Chains A and B, each alone.
Chain A
Amino acid sequence: MRFSGSATYVTTRDLNLAVNAAITLQRPLLIKGEPGTGKTMLAEEVAAALGMPLFQWHIKSTTKAQQGLYEYDAVSRLRDSQLGEARVADIGSYIVKGVLWQAFECETASVVLIDEIDKADIEFPNDLLRELDRMEFFVYETRQTVRARQRPVVVITSNNEKELPDAFLRRCFFHYIRFPDKETMQSIVDVHFPGLKPALLREALEVFFELREIPGLKKKPSTSELLDWLKLLLAEDIPPEVLRSKEQKAAIPPLHGALLKNEQDVHLFERLIFMARHNR
C-alpha cells in the first residue's frame, strides 16, 4: 500500500512521503496550503488509489466534535413519546451515527477526511484527541464502546484560520502543500486538459504566473482558478497568439474575470495595465 499520486492527481515527492508515513504509522495527516492547491482532493485520491471507501466530514463553525461520533436525538424521542410510538422504548433508535462511527464500523480499512478543521471552535481538535488516538469511543446512552475494526487513514485539512492546539499537532504528520512551480503546474493542467495545445498552455501559464507576481493582490489566483480560466479559453477558442501579443504587458488578458475574483484586485490590475500603456 503505497501512495504515489494518480492519473488525475499530481503529487510531489514530499507529499507522497508524508502520506505514506502517515499510513504506515497510522497517524492522522494534517494538510495545509494555499486555497485551491488540492488539499480536499488529496483524501479522495488517497482513498481511490488504495481502493478504500472515503468518509467525509466537512467542518463548519458550529460543528461539535461529538457530531463526528454520534448524536442523541432527544427531541424526536420526546416527540415520539408524546405520540405513544412503540420505538420510544429503544434508545438505540435515536442514536444517529456520525462520520467516525461509520468509518470505525467499516469492514475494510477506510479513509476519513476531516475537511477545514480550522473552521470549528478552537477547542474542537482537543475534543477528538482520544478518539483519534485510540480509535474508539464510548456511547453513554447505550453503554457500548465503539472500536474501529480497522484503523482508518485520517486526512485533516486546514486553511490556517485558527492555530491548532499543540497536543493535537504532536499526534499528526504534517505537510504543507506549496504553490506548484511551473513544471508541476504543467502536469496538473495536463491531467485536466490532456489534449491542450502546448502553445496555448505555455502562454496561459506565462500570463498566470505573471499575474501571481503582481504585488498587492488580495487573492492570488490559484490552481482551481487557472483550470477554470483554461476551460473558458478553450470554450471561447482563444488562440495562443492573443495571450502572447507584443502588447501583452499592456493588454488585459481575455476572460481575466476567472483569475481575479476580487473587485479590488481587478481594479488594481487594470490600473497597472493603464500605467504600463502610458509609460511606454
Chain B
Amino acid sequence: MLIDFFLHLKASRLPVSIQEFLTLLEALRQHVIAHSIDDFYLLSRAVLVKDESHFDKFDRAFGEYFKGVEALPGMEVLIPEEWLRRAVKKHLSDAERARLEKLGWEKLMETFRQRLAEQKERHSGGSKWIGSGGSSPFGHGGTHPEGIRLGGRSENRSAVKVWERREYRNLDDSVELGTRNIKVALRRLRRFAREGAAEELDLEGTIAGTARNAGWLDLKLRPERHNAVKVLLLLDIGGSMDDHIRVCEELFSACRSEFKHLEHYYFHNCVYDYLWRDNRRRHSERIATHDVLHRYGNDYKLIFVGDASMSPYELLQPNGSIEFNNVEPGAAWLRRLADTWPHSIWLNPEAEHSWPYRQSTSLIHNLLGGRMFPLTLDGLERGMRLLSK
C-alpha cells in the first residue's frame, strides 16, 4: 500500500527519493507514530518533503491518495463493542450520555458496523461517514453530542483534515519574488577570484616558502576570494515603473549584496544622452551616456530593468523623448549599449504574455535579439543562465 503512496507522490511531481521512502518505512517500523492518519501525514511530510514550497503540492497529493482510505493498517479493525462502551463512559458527560441513550446502544452499534463496511468513499466533513470529525456520531473530535473518538488524540480540531486546509498554499513557489529568491538566482553569475589587497594567509604558499627557506618562516599572504563578476545595472524609474517599485528595490538590494562590482544608473523609459545615479538629483547630476559607455570594460554584464512601455516615438524618433530634445532616437542608444556590452539582458516586470501586445516592448525585445526576461524567479534564472555563458 505504501509503495503506491510513494509512487503517487512521485507521479504528482514531488521530488521524493527511495532513500527517503525507506526512512519513512523505518520510522513506521520503529513506531515513531501511533496509528493515526494525522500523525502519518506529519511524519511522511517531515521525511519526504524538504522544502516548504512543496508542502501544498504534498497536501494535494496526500488528499487525493487517501481520499476514502483514511484508515491505515491497524485502523480497519472493528472496534470491540466493550471498548466502545468504556470509551463512552470515559469521554462523555452525563448529559451527553443521556442524549446518546436516546439512539440506543444496539442501534448505534449496528449503524456503526454498517458504516465501517460502506466506508469506501471519502468522508471528511459530511454527516454520514465515519470521518474524523463532522457531525457524524462516529469519528473523533467531532462536535456531535454523540461523537466518539476512534484513535487519535482529543484535540477537538475541525473536521477538515490538516492537509485539506491547504495552509501552505501561499508558500508554493513564492510567486512573490523576495530578495532571497533573487539572491539565489543571482548566484548563478558567481565567478570567484582573488583580487585586491593580500590579507589572507596562504598556508600552502607559506609552507612551501618556509621549506624553501630551510625552515625559516616565510609568511605568504594572498587576496581574499570573492565574487568577481561585474554588473552594470540600468534601471527605468518613474512613470509606469511606479507599480514595480518594490520588486525593483528587492532586485537592487540583492544585487548590491551579491556583487562587489556593481554600478547602477537610472533612465526614464528609454536611454538617451544622459543617465543619472541619484534620482533626487537627476537634473543637477546627470552623466553623459557616452561617458558611461567608455567607463566600464566589456567584461561587465549589462542588465536593463524596465517595463519597456512607452510610445513608439520615444524609441524611433529623434526628439521623441518626453523629457528633452534628443538628437538620436532611443533605439540608437539601446543598440549602442548592447553592442558595447555583449553580455546584456533586459528584465521586464510586466507579465511575459503581455509583451507582444505592446509595440515598444516588441521593438526592444527584437533590438536585444530576444534577450528580454520577465522579472520572475523563472525569468531571472533564464536571464542569469544566459549571462553566465
Contacts and interface: CB of A to CB of B under 8 A. Distances in A.
Contacts, number: 80
B310 interface: no
A74 B26 CA distance: 44
Contacts of B27: 21, 24-25
B210 A78 contact: yes
Interface of B: 15, 17, 19-20, 23, 26-27, 30, 32-33, 39, 42-43, 45-47, 49-52, 55, 155, 167-168, 171, 180, 183-184, 187, 201, 203, 206-207, 210, 215-217, 246
Interface stretch (A44-52, A162-170, A191-199, A248-256): A162-170
Contact of B183 (A18, A22, A161, A174): A161
The winner among A25, A27, A163 for most chain B CB atoms within 10 A is A25
Contact of B217 (A78, A122, A176): A78
Contacts of A164: 50
B39 A17 contact: yes
Contact of A74 (B32, B168, B203): B203
A7 interface: no
Contacts of B183: 161
10 contacts: A17-B46, A21-B43, A22-B46, A25-B27, A25-B32, A74-B207, A122-B187, A173-B46, A173-B47, A174-B46
B152 to A, nearest CB: 11
A81 B215 contact: yes
Contacts of A171: 19
A21 B46 contact: yes
B31 to A, nearest CB: 8
Interface in A130-186: 160-164, 166, 169-176, 178
Q: By DSSP majority rule, is chain B's interface helix, strand, loop, or mixed? A: helix
A30 B19 CA distance: 17
A13 interface: yes
Given A18-B46, A75-B206, A27 B23 contact: yes
A25 B26 contact: yes
Contacts of A18: 42, 46
A79 interface: yes
Contacts of B246: 216
A22 B27 CA distance: 9
A12 to B, nearest CB: 10
Contacts of B201: 75
Given A17-B33, A25-B27, A75-B206, A170 B19 contact: yes
Given A32-B52, A74-B206, A175-B46, 9 more contacts: A25-B26, A79-B217, A81-B215, A82-B215, A161-B180, A161-B184, A162-B184, A170-B17, A174-B49
Contacts of A172: 50
Nearest to A32: B52
Contacts of B32: 17, 20-21, 24-25
Give me the 3 closest cross-chain CB pairs, A-B, nearest first. A169-B50, A176-B52, A18-B46
Contacts of B19: 170-171
Given A25-B23, A170-B20, A82 B50 contact: no
Contacts of A81: 215
Nearest to B39: A17
A21 B187 contact: no
